[in-house]
Amino acid sequence: MTSCKDVPTLVDSIAKENIVECEVVGITGSPSSIYKEFERLKTNASKEELFQLMNHDSLAVVSYSSYALIDRNIIAPSKLLERFVNEEENVSTFCGCIMSEESISSLIYHRYWNTRIEYPDDEDYENYIINDSKELQKMDSLILYSKKPDWILLSRAFENRIYSNEYNSKIEEWAFQKRDFYALKYVFNNLLKGNKENLEFLLNEYLATEKVYPARKEEIMGMLKNLQKL
C-alpha cells in the first residue's frame, strides 16, 4: 500500500521525479501524486531524517524536506534561508498549470511568506495584506545583507515594509551600486531626500543599458516624470 511506504521508499520516489509540485497541478487542478508522497514523508520522517535529507543529491528531496521542517516548526525558516540564500541552482516546479524553475531559497521563503499574507479579494492576487512578523523581518534582513539573493527575494524584501534608517546605506548600495530595480523603486518611494539627482541619473541609465520589458519601462518612465516635477 502506498500509505505504508517507508521513508527511504518515499525519498526514492520523490528523487526519481525530481520536481517540486504543489498540492494540485494541471489545468483541471488534479491532486499531485508527488505532493501526496511529500505529505507522507512529512508525517513519517523523523526530525533527524529530515535534517539528513537536506544533503540529498535530489533538489526536490531537499526542497520537500525543507517544507516538512518548516511545516512541523522544527527549525525557523530564516535558518534554512540562511543556508541557501546565495545558492544559484534551481529545481523544476509545477504549480497549477505553471511549470517553472525556482531556487530552493525562493521555495523556502515563500513556504513561510504564504502563511503571512491574506487576499481580501479572492480574484485579485496582486492585492494582498502582509501580516508581518519578526521571523519575516529577519528573513528580509538576511536577504538584503546577502551577496547574491534570488531577484524575487529582493523584490519581496523591498516591497514588504519600510525599513528603519540603519538599513539606508545597504538599500542605497543595492540601488546605486548594484542597480537593482526594486531597490531603485524603494528609494523613489521612501528615500528620495538627498537621492533625487542620483536616482534620476540611474533610472535613465537603467533604461538605456538594461533589457526592460514594457510594464517595467512604463513604471520607470512614470517615476522619471514625477521626479522632473520635484
Please report the pLDDT score of residue 124 as a whole number: 67
pLDDT value, residue 173: 97
Most confident range, picked from 111-125, 139-153, 202-216 = 139-153
The proportion of the chain whose per-residue pLDDT surpasses 90, expressed as a percent, equals: 88
Whether residue 225 is predicted with pLDDT greater than 70 in this model: the reply is yes
Residue 105, C-beta contacts closer than 8 angstroms, at least 6 positions apart: 81, 84, 85, 86, 87, 149, 150, 153
pLDDT tens track for 65-113: 999 999 999 999 999 999 999 998 999 999 999 999 999 999 999 999 9
Provide the grid cell at 76: 525557523
In terms of C-beta distances under 8 Å and separation of at least 24 residues, what long-range contacts does 50-56 make, across chains too? Answer: 50/74, 53/11, 54/83, 56/11, 56/15
- Average pLDDT value over all residues in the chain: 94
Mean pLDDT of 166-188: 97
User: Per-residue pLDDT tens for 34-78?
Assistant: 999 999 999 999 999 999 999 999 999 999 999 999 999 999 999
What's the confidence (pLDDT) of residue 177? 95
Residue 2 pLDDT greater than 60, yes or no? no
Q: Parse the chain into domains and list their residue ranges.
A: 2-161, 163-230
